[in-house]
Amino acid sequence: MTTYVLRRLAFLVVSLFMASVVLFLLLRLLPGDPANALLSVGADPEQIAAARHAIGSDLPLPEQFAHWLHQLVTFDLGDSFVSSLPVGPQIASRLDVTVPLTLLAFLLALAIALPVGFLAAHRSRTWYGTVLNGVSQLGVAVPVFWIGMILVTVFSLRLRWLPSGGFPQDGWSDPGQAIDSLALPVITVALVMSASLIRYVRSATLDVLGSDYLRTARALGSTFTGAMWRHGVRNGAVPVISILGIELASTLLGAVVVETVFALPGLGSMLSQAVAQHDYPSVQGVLFVSTFSVLIIGFLADLTQRLIDPRLRGRLSGGAR
């Protein structure tokens, strides 16, 4: 297991380096000069040259990349071209919104998907099992912004139970108000995520219910609940965990849509503003932090799978499954 962890850590470092290369090159392929963020309309060539020199966009690409890589190694994401403020603290302040939104939605989606997915599989031949499966299929096809708009219309505009958007200026100094502001966004994301998770939980449960080891355990005298808890949960959890990692990562990356609908000052809104303003340091910083988070989530999901399944723990090389 130790050998595998070291291999995965090495792969994580290589992946981060490759991600930094890709992010750097893709941003340089975007149309427009980042120096425009420092200039007013009608700037003369001398002002443009001075602005490009100030931000370093006049340097050769290898030198720009070396500077970007040095910043990453020293945990410095640079300064914003627009606000001249350090990008790192700005991202940290935005994470106060994005991380709670993502984690709360993830936990709520789990609370919905696990029992509903199991029930849809266990009662797959009944009418309500079919209905649950159909509802989950429909939920996958519904856009997240559409669900958000419906929730705002019902719970904010008509019932007036919850705010339609925004976040307290004082952040989490008033937890009650902050939670109220995140309630509808969390429910929106959780409904979309749970619809997808229900399908995977149902599929994994059906595989367990039709397995030989479960029938053998029942034949040896175990109750259905005991056999499922002792044998079914561990075997069924292995494929679901990888899906959970993907869903959590995609929710973090897709926060820009939900944060736009609910006017939340999170990481997604920061990214959209930075792209519109050609603010390279902010865009690079947000994308790198998001990529790092996705890779870490995948790393933890992979380790969790091996801790649960002894068959995977024996494969230290992490080779064929």
- The per-residue pLDDT for 312 is 61
Q: CATH number, domain at 251?
A: 1.10.3720.10
The answer to whether position 219 is within a domain reads: yes
Residue 156 shares a structural domain with residue 203: yes
pLDDT value at 147 more than 80:
yes
For residue 274 the two structure tokens come to 């930075």
Task: Tally Cβ neighbours within 10 Å of residue 208.
Answer: 20
Rg over alpha carbons for the chain, rounded to the nearest Å, is 24
* Domain of 139, in residue numbers: 93-313
The label of the residue with tokens 């091996």 reads 306
Residue 48 shares a structural domain with residue 154: no
Q: How many domains does the chain fold into?
A: 2
Confidence of residue 33 (pLDDT cuts 50, 70, 90): low
The answer to whether position 121 is within a domain reads: yes
Higher pLDDT, 258 or 38: 258
Residue 163 shares a structural domain with residue 308: yes
Residue 264 shares a structural domain with residue 128: yes
Among 73, 101, 126, the domain boundary falls at 73
Confidence of residue 316 (pLDDT cuts 50, 70, 90): very low
Residue 178 shares a structural domain with residue 302: yes
Three-state DSSP at 220 gives: coil
pLDDT value at 321 more than 50:
no
For residue 287 the two structure tokens come to 């994308």
| Rounded average pLDDT over 48-70 | 78
Confidence of residue 267 (pLDDT cuts 50, 70, 90): confident
Q: How confident is the model over 71-108, as pLDDT tens digits?
A: 888 888 888 877 778 888 888 888 888 888 888 988 89
